[in-house]
Structure 1
Amino acid sequence: MSNVSTDPPGFELPLQLFQGFRALIDDMHAELARQGHPDMRPMHGFVLQAIGRGGTNAVRLGRRLGVSKQAAAKHIDTLERLGYVRREPDPADARSRIVLLTERGVDALTRSARIFDELRARWAVVLGDERLRALEADLRKVAPRSGFPLDIPGWFGGQ
């Protein structure tokens, strides 16, 4: 009797999950580019989500992303240059500026959400509705229930 396991090595699981994540993100950005947002990058999506509809400042943005205030400011500069955000005086703090999504930023997030729905539907065709729902349910069982973290850039070693 052999003690050789037929299970794949444990390190494959996070890599396969990451490949699935990467495939979804890459496909979403390719479609987003076709829909008028060719300058959007994966990091931009995290930043726009972290800014949110209510806006934020560089310090809070950095905290949400898990990066320094300086790194957050660089992201803001880039997104402002691309027309996705604008800065305005912060009514709660005269020394600070608030960063708000522009119409273009809201459009990018709205389109991204629709595209993710389409990509999920494509996965349902490949895997089957039941298996996809089961996969999602299983991931909910093993993933923390603290919501969807936006600090992935910092977690991956951002500035």
Structure 2
Amino acid sequence: MNHQVFSELDLTSLLSLSFSASINELHDKLSKLGFEDIRPVHGFMFKRIIPDGATGIELAEYLGITKQAVSKMVDFLEKSGYVMRQTHPTDKRGKIIVLTERGWLVVKAKEEIIAEIEERWIKNIGTERMQMLKEDLTNLIHEANEGKLSSRLRPIW
């Protein structure tokens, strides 16, 4: 696809393509680092777990999915060594999901890879334009969410 064809795409398509390219690169690199079982939805879940853990109900609300779906994902991530269930600090009957050492390692790797991707974008469009892009997108998100940043970062697939 040449530049002219890309310039004819609507904003939503361009945002979607840039998101997909970034996520695909991120997960390819995570896979090469030994985190091949991590999927985009896990990253969204980790965002809610960090820094102090989250209950299954909190994760379900955040991701917009059922508690049963969260339970299956937590089971998978627990078996893979990324999270563990602990007794809730204020409700001894409940459980809280927290990251394990392996979970924190994948978060650190993700942060480094995203920083590399952003650096490459900065080299391509410049620091000032990158800052403007972030500010403009932040403003659009604020407007779409009635004056605040959405607290829900979740996949739509």
User: How far does the alpha carbon of each residue in 1:103-134 deviate from its partner, in whole angstroms, 9 at most, with x for none?
Assistant: 00011111111111110001112222232222
| d(CA) in 2 for partners of 1:68, 1:34 | 31
Partner of 1:75: 73
Tell me which moved more, 143-152 or 90-99: 143-152
Match of 2:16 in 1: 18
Write the letter of the residue equivalent to 1:152.
R
2:48 aligns with 50
Q: Which residue of 2 aligns with 1:152?
A: 154
Identity of aligned residues (%): 34
Structure 2: give runs of 5+ residues left out of the alignment. Answer: 1-6
Cα distance, 1:78 vs. partner?
1.3
Q: Residue 97 of structure 1 is aligned with which of 95, 98, 103? A: 95
Q: CA deviation at 1:17?
A: 0.5
CA contact (8 A) 1:66 1:151 kept: no
| Structure 2 residue identity aligned to 1:73 | S
Cα deviation, residue 135, structure 1: 1.7
> Which residue is 1:88 aligned to?
86
Q: 2:140 aligns with which of 139, 142, 147?
A: 142
Letter in 2 for 1:103: E
The equivalent of 1:113 in structure 2 is 111
TM-score, normalised to structure 1, is 0.82
Report the 3-state secondary structure (helix = DSSP H, G, I; strand = E; otherwise coil) of the residue aligned with 2:18: helix
The number of equivalent residue pairs is 147
Q: 2 CA distance for matches of 1:141 and 1:100?
A: 32
Structure 1 counterpart of 2:29, one-letter code: E
Output the TM-score relative to the length of structure 2: 0.83
| Aligned mates of 1:78, 1:33 — CA distance in 2 | 17
Amino acid at match of 1:139: L
- Off by >6 Å, runs of 4+ in structure 1: none
> Residue type matched to 2:28 in 1?
A
Q: Please name the residue that 1:128 is paired with.
A: 126
Question: Residues 49 and 150 of structure 1 are in contact (CA less than 8 Å); yes or no, is this contact kept in structure 2?
Answer: no
Q: Which of 1 and 2 has higher RCO (CA within 8 Å, sep 6+)? A: 1
Decide which of 25, 32, 41 is 2:39's aligned counterpart.
41
Decide whether the 8 Å contact of 1:87 with 1:98 is kept in 2: yes
CA deviation string 1:27-49 (max 9, x = no partner)? 11111222221111111101111
* Residue 52 of structure 1, CA deviation: 1.4
> CA–CA distance in 2 between the matches of 1:87 and 1:136?
36
